[in-house]
Amino acid sequence: MNFEEVGSQLRQVLEKEEIFALAARIRDNYPYCIEMYNTLLLTARGLNACFQYEIYVPRNYLESHIIISRSLIEWKNMSIYCREEEVPLLIKVMKGSHFLDIVKELPVNVFFVSSYQLDAVLETLQIIFERRLQINQYSCYAYETRQNGPLRCPAGMKVQRMGRAGIHKMLKSNKYWKGASLDLTCSLAENLPMLGIYLDPDVGEEKVIHLNDISFAEEEATPIAQVGSTPHGTVGWLWIDAKYRRCGLGRLLVEVMGRLQMSEGYFPHGVVIYYNDASALMFKMLPGWRKTHYVNRIIPAQ
């Protein structure tokens, strides 16, 4: 049996209606579909100019949940999704000639590989790329229960969507997303929440944050704390000025972000690399957030 017969040939999905349908198809495989679901939703909503995602599915298996996305932006990467029972078919797809054509010019940088995919996908990629690869494990924390209580910003501060200066500061201070383009991230901020807490002496008392009233900061204003939505729709890029740490600003921003993303139809989630104890502790303490599963990133061995 050749690979064409087992559905190894891929086709690119271009129509937004079909991308929306793919998102709806995989939605019930929560939480393992979180990242791919968000990616599909972002692409179908017309944000491809920011992300340059390409979406592929098996040509011969129209109802499968196998989806491959690759991003052509500066830090090129790929995500590979399927249900657990579809792993054997996924491997046949990955060994097909069309998959080889898709990945041959990409660096090895595969995000969000679920535990049930990991061994088979890792072995196959090592054969394809003819090199030894390594995995970095992350815990996935998802915002599952929207909290109804009011969120309050301290006196002398306000929560706003970040302008260009805030985003530039965020990209310089982050540890895990090196190489992100300022222009692309600013375009992303027009469509997904990028939040900062800004000093404002005119705010004389603690105020309730209303999600619909969060405005954009001035382009040159810089925040004292910030969090962003990454190109995968994850909650990341959290940073707090050293003078304002241990004041609850990080927890406040992540909670606002979770509520905003949920209100816009995404699965709010954050991924924490295995050695980042501080971020893991923060998510564990946040109401409404729960550790759902592990995901893995496959990169070249050091």
Pick the residue with more confidence: 6 or 10? 10
Both 106 and 179 in one domain: the answer is no
Both 283 and 165 in one domain: the answer is yes
Decide if 247 contacts 228 (C-beta within 8 A): no
What is the extent of the structural domain holding 231? Answer: 152-291
At 4, the pLDDT band (50, 70, 90 cuts) reads very low
| 49 vs 188: CA distance, rounded Å | 9
Neighbours of 95 (CB within 10 A): 15
Residue 1 above 60 pLDDT?
A: no
Both 157 and 124 in one domain: the answer is no
Alpha-carbon Rg for the chain in angstroms: 20
Rounded percentage of the chain residues whose pLDDT exceeds 90: 57
Q: In the chain, how many domains are there?
A: 2
Pick the residue with more confidence: 105 or 14? 14
Q: What rounded mean pLDDT belongs to the chain?
A: 88
Average pLDDT of span 147-159: 90
The verdict on residue 260 lying in a domain is yes
Both 172 and 126 in one domain: the answer is no
Report pTM.
0.88
Neighbours of 132 (CB within 10 A): 9
Decide if 109 contacts 77 (C-beta within 8 A): yes
The verdict on residue 3 lying in a domain is no
Both 118 and 43 in one domain: the answer is yes
| 293 vs 224: CA distance, rounded Å | 32
Pick the residue with more confidence: 155 or 180? 155
Instruction: Quote the tokens at residue 184.
Output: 């692309």
Average pLDDT of span 127-151: 89
Both 115 and 171 in one domain: the answer is no
User: What pLDDT does residue 185 have?
Assistant: 80
Query: 16-26 and 34-44 helices cross at what angle (nearest 10)?
Result: 160
**CATH number of the domain encompassing residue 277:** 3.40.630.30
Neighbours of 195 (CB within 10 A): 28
User: What pLDDT does residue 49 have?
Assistant: 60
The verdict on residue 186 lying in a domain is yes
